[in-house]
Amino acid sequence: MWDINPLAVVGAALVGLVVGFPWYGPLFGKRWQAALGMSDETMKSANMGMIFGTMIVLNLFAAFILGHVLATYGNPDLRVSMMVGFGVGLGFIATALGVNYLFQRKSLVLFAIDAGYWIVTYTLMGAVFGALR
């Protein structure tokens, strides 16, 4: 009942990178940067090693927790795992971002880009768990 496939955890964690590169690159990168009011110079001055290293650790933890949730339901099939991932992305992540962005007075464009990323990412994380159950 509590079996979590470690390969699925790693694969699901890597989904964030696989989705993130096109999402925050060619698809929405410039609009995201503009919505944040971030200059090219600011973008270039970031410590990318620290950012990506920490992101991987956080994604591993998130993937482990999603795997734990799915394991409590007996490691469901691909369809149900994707539905659970979608539900987590939309019902927990996007709504939490929405509340924060309201109080931070951030734009709807930024919310749509960031929330969309997490909804797609968690849906595909669920797909990884469903495929490797």
pLDDT at position 10 is 98
pLDDT at position 89 is 98
Q: Sorting pLDDT into bands at 50, 70 and 90, what band is 130?
A: very high
Whether 1 has a pLDDT exceeding 90, the answer reads no
**Ramachandran category for residue 107: left, alpha or beta (phi over 0 → left; psi -120 to 50 → alpha):** beta
The model's pLDDT over 14-60, given as tens digits with 9 standing for 90+, comes to 999 999 999 999 999 999 999 999 999 998 899 999 999 999 999 99
Residues in the chain: 133
CB count in 10 Å sphere of residue 3: 9
Q: Coil, strand, or helix at residue 2?
A: coil
The model's pLDDT over 80-108, given as tens digits with 9 standing for 90+, comes to 999 999 999 999 999 999 999 999 999 99
pLDDT at position 3 is 87
Task: Quote the pTM value.
Answer: 0.95
- Residue 77 tokens, joined: 């099939």
